[in-house]
Amino acid sequence: MHKEHTLTKNQQIIFDLIDKSPEPMKAYSILFNVQKKGIKAPLQVYRALDKLVEIGKIHKIESRNAFIACHNSSCQMAKATAFSICEICEKVTEISNDSLSKYLANFKDKDGMKYSKYNLEFFGLCKKCKVK
């Protein structure tokens, strides 16, 4: 469950845009789309993105430098994220799987080190792209 945060004006504008996008959005595409709402500079976008990532409302897809809204109630504050990425159509889905998240949250390396955070990206072909 996400802690509730009151988003600021810029954060809300940018979150709404990402949230209604069917694909991950890149920062400068976001910028282009919100210029009519008065957000003119890259830094305004990046600041909002940083905050939204920090509070877990969006996630960054590291391999794509792109951002998607979180629709997964089990990922807490961006500390435990997993995604599937289609290498053809670039569709990205957040994975919500108890077994996986438990396995990773409890994973210890050979020195017994436990980690406070992880990000996992799976790559393959989505259903649509597989049949083609």
Partner DNA sequence: ATTAAATTGTTATAATATAACAAAATGTAA
Partner DNA sequence: TTACATTTTGTTATATTATAACAATTTAAT
CB atoms within 10 A of CB 107: 11
Partner in contact with 53, chosen from Zn ion, a second copy, DNA, none, beta carbon below 5 to 8 Å by kind? none
Chain residues 69-128 in contact with Zn ion, contact rule CB under 5 A: 70, 72, 75, 86, 88-89, 91, 126
The two tokens of residue 29 are 């595409």
- Binding mask of the shown chain, residues 43 to 62, with x at each position contacting DNA by CB under 7 A: xx-xxx-xx-----------
Q: Does 71 bind a second copy (CB under 8 A)?
A: no
Where b means 16+ CB within 10 Å and e means fewer, 68-98 reads bbbebeebeebebbbbebbeeeebbebeeee
Site for a second copy in 28-67 (CB under 8 A): 62-63
Q: Is residue 114 close enough to count as binding a second copy by CB under 8 A?
A: yes
